[in-house]
Amino acid sequence: MGGPPSERLREADEVQHTVHVSAFYADPYEVTQEDYESVTGSGRRKCPAGAEFS
């Protein structure tokens, strides 16, 4: 988890590390940041407004 040191917009306190996930549920439907914010009334963005990620 976390990005490599060369990642653009990386914060100084980020450290790349291994994470083990035992079980999780993945929904078959994609939810965009806009969808999330329309339901919750807020977003938890660390990225610049308007940034697109794929």
SS (H, E, C) 8-31: CCCCCCCCCCCCCCCCCCCCCCCC
pLDDT for the residue 14:
86
pLDDT for the residue 18:
92
What whole-number distance in Å separates Cα of residue 30 and Cα of residue 34?
Answer: 11
pLDDT for the residue 34:
86
What whole-number distance in Å separates Cα of residue 13 and Cα of residue 38?
Answer: 31
**pLDDT tens by residue, 26-37:** 889 998 888 888
Q: What residues in the chain have per-residue pLDDT under 70?
A: 43-54
Tell me the average pLDDT of the chain: 81
Closest CA to 7 of 37, 44, 36, 46: 46
